[in-house]
Amino acid sequence: MAPHVEHELHQRRQGRNYGVGGLLLAFVVIVFALTLAKVQRGEPVEAYDHTPSRTLEPVTGGTN
């Protein structure tokens, strides 16, 4: 049986796939690190759920 020889096009595509995979992995690591930083600071984790939030309302009764 003859050894399998890859075409040059497949080698270039494989290199491109490794590059895209590396960028995707870097993006996941950045999002994970930002999530950990937000959670460790103890700030409330808020999401847009179509209800008014007290932290987003303007402060009234201030001295101007």
What is 4-28 written as a DSSP string? P---HHHHHHHHHHHHHHHHHHHHH
**Using one digit for the tens of pLDDT, what is the confidence trace for 3-60?**
777 788 888 899 999 999 999 999 999 999 998 888 887 766 666 666 666 666 666 7
Backbone angles phi, psi at 43, to 5 degrees: -75, 150
Dihedral sign for Cα atoms in the order 46, 52, 56, 59:
negative
Which residue ranges make up each domain of the chain? Answer: 6-56
Locus of tokens 């595509």: 13
Q: Would the pTM of this model clear 0.75, i.e. be above it?
A: no
